[in-house]
Amino acid sequence: MAIEIERKFLVTGDGWRFLSSGIVYRQGYIATEELKTVRIRVFGKEARLTIKGPTIGRTRAEFEYPIPLKDAEEMLNTLCKPTLIEKTRYKIPLHHLIWEIDEFHGANQGLILAEVELKSERQIVELPDWIGEEVSDDPRYFNSALAKHPYSQW
């Protein structure tokens, strides 16, 4: 089974801004119920269908498949529930990990989150100086939750 183990943090500084160039992402959710999600994501000239299970601790099942870009655009426009997630993602290699910084746009403008995927929940993570409060356990910061209750409405 494919799994995802991640920690999520608010970003407080700008020290990351010049460490990577970003890629614009658009994603939407076909289904979000009982902490299970079916997501469509478009970035660059690629598209993915992702199915995620409930989070237990910081681990959850994740299955991701490439799909045709044209199909993904059609699904975003016709099948996904409002609000679409719009963000620029920056990938920064640091201390043997890849940090993903998401700078949100649209209804979630003003929110900047950092995620790091781990090999185990016990893995020690050296935090860069631009990392703020950890929000891994706050479901409001899940992208699926931000699609239902955008940051601008908090």
For residue range 7-29, list pLDDT tens digits in order.
Answer: 999 999 899 998 899 999 999 99
- pLDDT tier for residue 143 given thresholds of 50, 70 and 90: very high
3-class DSSP assignment, residue 10: strand
Long-range contacts formed by 87-95: CB under 8 A, 24+ apart: 87/24, 87/25, 88/22, 88/23, 88/24, 88/25, 89/22, 89/23, 89/25, 89/43, 90/16, 90/17, 90/19, 90/20, 90/21, 90/22, 91/20, 92/16, 92/19, 92/20, 94/19, 94/128, 95/125, 95/126
Average per-residue pLDDT for the chain? 94
Least confident interval from 4-13, 50-59, 145-154: 50-59
pLDDT of residue 35: 76
Q: Which CATH number fits domain 3-153: 3.50.50.60, 2.40.320.10, 3.40.190.10, 2.60.40.1220?
A: 2.40.320.10
pTM for the whole structure: 0.93
- pLDDT tier for residue 32 given thresholds of 50, 70 and 90: confident
Give strand pairing partners of 59.
5, 56
Catalytic residues: 29
Evaluate if residue 1 carries a pLDDT over 80.
no
- Domain range annotation of the chain: 3-153
Residue 26: count of CB within 10 angstroms of its CB = 19
